Copies of this chain bind each other. A is one copy, B any other.
Amino acid sequence: MTDLNTSRSGNTANHHGLNAIQDGLVHAEGGGDALLRLDDVVFLLLDHQSGLFQVVKDISVAELRANTAMLAKLAALMKIPVITTASVPDGPNGPLMPEIHQFAPHAVYVPRKGEVNAWDNELFVQTVRETGRRTLVIAGVWTSVCVMFPALDALAAGFNVYAVVDASGDPSEMASRITLARFSQAGVVPISANAVLCELQRTWNRPDAAEIAQLYTLVAPNYAAVLESYNRAQDAALHPARPVPELTHK
């Protein structure tokens, strides 16, 4: 691991010279200097548990699950390490949402012994450190707790820390605003799921562009209809003589 000149805010955490090649893509000089580096990122998905979902009130559970599932799929596609954990999954807080390990089969699950703050668990911290990555992209439920506590501790330990606020959830709109302000004040970079996706995608000029487009439909459901309309419009342009269809079981 190179010695990084990390800053608190993370927003300016990047690294001149290295970036242009780190993800196999060639960028203009300075391009992405302030963005996430694909080879330095690890995803921490914390306590996305079914019982806790019931006490999330700042985002719909449907959106929360879709954004989180996108992160899992993105990690699988781009080979980003993923670490999951839950404190007491046999208790009322319930099991992890199954989509994470389903979509990111390479994810490593770290059991906890009841600690609320994942950073209080030695195995968890050790697992993070062993990735060699210095930029933590964290999501979890509650945002104000399960994301906030390890984010603050990791920041104190010298990591760059991003909080994916819309792949996380808080118990009220007011708590959500409070949490966002606390992240900003402390130097944790708040980020939305769609920005994580784009920040790591970097270009449409890549072999997996179609798979990435599908990920857009998770963070922005209208995008599915955009794709459907586009494909039909092109099809109609190329086959303008399509006769009016017969009554049919389509």
Chain B: CB-nearest residue to A122: B28
Q: Evaluate whether A191 and B166 lie within 8 angstroms (CB atoms) in the complex, with A50-B228, A116-B202 already known.
A: no
Which one, B62, B174, B180, contacts A221 given CB within 8 A?
Answer: B62
Contact with B along A202-219 (1 / 0, CB 8 A): 111110010001001001
Residue pair B119, A31 in contact (C-beta under 8 Å): yes
Task: Assess whether A155 is interfacial by the CB under 8 Å rule.
Answer: yes
How many protomers of this protein does the assembly include?
8
**Does A76 belong to the interface (CB within 8 Å)?**
no
A2 beta carbon closer than 8 Å to chain B: no
Band of interface residues on A: 35 or more
Q: Does A34 contact B (CB under 8 A)?
A: yes
Interface members, chain A 91-128 (any B CB < 8 Å): 91-95, 97-98, 101, 105-111, 113-117, 119-125, 127
Contacting residues of chain A (18-64) with chain B, CB-CB under 8 angstroms: 27-35, 50-51, 53-55, 57-63
**A17 an interface residue at 8 Å Cβ cutoff?**
no
Contacts of A175 in B (CB 8 A): 166, 192-195
- From 64 to 96 in chain A, residues with beta carbon under 8 angstroms from any chain B beta carbon are 65-66, 84, 87-95
Contact at A171–B202, with CB atoms within 8 Å? no
CA distance A109 to B249 in the complex (A): 6
**Complex partner residue of A172 from B32, B123, B192, B242, CB under 8 angstroms:** B192
Encode A155-191 as 1/0 by CB contact (under 8 A) with B: 1110000000110001110111111111111110111
Can you name 15 A-B pairs with beta carbons within 8 Å?
A28-B125, A30-B125, A34-B152, A59-B174, A61-B221, A65-B221, A98-B228, A108-B249, A114-B204, A116-B204, A142-B195, A145-B195, A171-B192, A174-B176, A180-B181
